[in-house]
Amino acid sequence: MSYAVGDTYEYTFKFSQADVVVFAQLTGDDNPLHLDPEYAATTIFKRPIIHGMLGASVFTKIIGTQFPGHGSIYMGQTFEFLRPMYVDVDYKAVFKIQSVNNERHTAEILGEVMDAQTLKMTTRGVATLMNRTHF
Amino acid sequence: MSYAVGDTYEYTFKFSQADVVVFAQLTGDDNPLHLDPEYAATTIFKRPIIHGMLGASVFTKIIGTQFPGHGSIYMGQTFEFLRPMYVDVDYKAVFKIQSVNNERHTAEILGEVMDAQTLKMTTRGVATLMNRTHF
């Protein structure tokens, strides 16, 4: 299947505090902002927030397995972390193909992650990738 | 401790295939390029490569725990994935403060990740962050 400019994909997801702990152990990022409710209470967020890069991992999940899917090779990514993300909250990712180069088999995909209920955007970014099957 | 433009930080790290499996399970990115040696053998990489976003997680680890450290709030990040990264290979991350805004307590930090032996660059990017203690 080939994808074209303007094609979109939506995906809803959430992370648990157990996921946050796994991410902290895997990456070594034990920033207390993510792990310590007492510390987080002293910050502007009031309670622990998900690592921005954990929330943003939905980009690699979607690109690598769903849109366009297996075989994707990541070439670049930008992220703006606009609002904090919390555990046990449903987030909606909306992805849209912005450009395709069929000779190079590359594409740029805009991804926007938002609270599934309020639709307030938490993370936005553009992925650049190669996929010889789909572009 | 306050940091200033030009300050640098170096950190050496590696990931195991077990780490790749944990990342795949945590994020849902089970792209066979990272998990299936037979599939990977059919690609230009010849063997499984680490998820770009797993290799890039060294950015959140360094920024969140070491340079500048705890309390960092991620505002943005760019990544260029220049070369594949493999398990059980030592990589060196070299981080350098590019700009500081002491009124807003924000900074931009350039990070370059390279093979620790060949010094060939695998990932490069700029983190934008706030840290009220260190900037």
SS (H, E, C) B33-61: HHHCHHHHHCCCCCCCCCCHHHHCCHHHH
B41 touches chain A (CB under 8 A): no
Residue A106 is encoded by which pair of tokens? 């590359």
Q: Model-level pTM?
A: 0.96
Read off the pLDDT of each residue in A20-26 and give the average, rounded to a whole number.
98
B79 touches chain A (CB under 8 A): yes
Give ipTM to 2 decimals: 0.95
Read off the pLDDT of each residue in A79-93 and give the average, rounded to a whole number.
98
* Residue reference for tokens 């499996």: B21
Q: What is the CATH number of domain A8-15+52-130?
A: 3.10.129.10
Amino acid at B135: F
Q: Minimal Cα distance from B80: which residue of A?
A: A76
∠ Cα B20 B37 B24 (to 5°): 25
What is chain B's pLDDT, residue by residue, as a tens digit (135 residues)? 789 999 999 999 999 999 999 999 999 999 999 999 999 999 999 999 999 999 999 999 999 999 999 889 999 999 999 999 999 999 999 999 999 999 999 999 999 999 999 999 999 999 999 999 999
- pLDDT category, A76, cuts 50, 70, 90? very high
The residues spanned by each domain of chain B are 8-15+50-130
Which residue, among A133, A6, A117, A22, has the nearest Cα to A69 in the 3D structure?
Answer: A133
**Does A14 score more than 80 pLDDT?**
yes
pLDDT at B99: 98
Read off the pLDDT of each residue in A5-34 and give the average, rounded to a whole number.
97
**Does A2 score more than 90 pLDDT?**
no
Which residue, among A36, A56, A50, has the nearest Cα to A112 in the 3D structure?
Answer: A56
CA distances from A20 to A24, A35, A58, A124, B7 (A): 6, 8, 14, 20, 30
Q: Which chain B positions have a beta carbon within 8 Å of A70's beta carbon?
A: 31-33
Residue contact B30–A60, C-beta within 8 A: no
CA distances from A116 to A12, A57, A113, A119, B2 (A): 7, 17, 9, 5, 39
pLDDT at B45: 93
pLDDT at B2: 84
- pLDDT category, A11, cuts 50, 70, 90? very high
Distance, in angstroms, between B5 CA and closest chain A CA?
22
B8-15+50-130 CATH, one of 3.40.50.150, 3.30.360.10, 3.10.129.10, 3.90.580.10 = 3.10.129.10
Q: Give the integer Cα–Cα distance in Å for B48 and A73.
A: 12
- pLDDT category, A71, cuts 50, 70, 90? confident
Amino acid at A62: I
Q: Which chain A positions have a beta carbon within 8 Å of B79's beta carbon?
A: 76-78
